[in-house]
Amino acid sequence: MDTIPFLELNLLDIRENQITQLYKFSKDNFDIENILTTASELKYTNEIINFLKVQWDNPSEDFITFILANVYTGKKTKQVIEKFSVLVKKSLNQFVNDMLNDKLQAAISNTNSEIEKEQEVASTKEQDTVEEAQVVTTEEEIEGYATVKIIVSDQVDPDRIFYRDNLSYCNVLLDDNIRKWICRLGFNGSNKYIQFNDEDKTNVYIENLSDILNHKERLKNVVKKFI
């Protein structure tokens, strides 16, 4: 065993990463090979962290020389190292501050984005609620829906046919799925029409509800592509 522990924790101030490591010691997860690997990794991780803490507070000559090797092309004399000592410490602080600011800005941006999405969803729901309150399903629309339901009943179970009304028209749907709309009954204006969900989204004007019966084949062909 090493004389230095590979994991230390304060029960009054336990960090999340420590909980993850402790979890490996639980009875159901205990694996000696995994523990040995973890112990080795933690040992060196702690040493690296302690080293960085020391360099953060008081950068050593070797540490400053290491940094200068990548940024300073002149001769690394003692005077130069002393000169850069303060600059290195300042740069380290600036580096961490920039990273924290970037993460903070990213978090704020994500939060704002989530808030905007929530507001958009809330606005859409509110708009839908207002629209639903204004929608009035007329007797003609109910009769038109019932007519379509009867026409296609020899192809699908009538219980699979639904209607969903809105301000502009009444959808007749298969399986109550808006993507499987069979036709749209536009009976709210003076010019009544029925639109079919075929390749051309054919729109046909009608005078009477009984005119729907003239388009049996169109309706059956639409239903056929969904079954």
Look at residue 115 and tell me whether its pLDDT is greater than 70. Answer: no
Q: How far apart are CA 212 and CA 219, in angstroms?
A: 9
Pair type for strands 161-165 and 170-174: antiparallel
> For 175-187, how does the pLDDT look when each residue is reduced to its tens digit (9 = 90+)?
999 999 999 999 9
Pick from 20-24, 60-64, 69-73, 115-119: least confident: 115-119
Long-range contacts of 87-96 (CB under 8 A, 24+ apart): 88/59, 88/63, 88/64, 89/56, 89/59, 92/55, 92/56, 92/59
Task: Give the pTM.
Answer: 0.43
Alpha-helical (H) ranges within the chain are: 16-23, 32-57, 61-71, 78-134, 139-151, 216-224
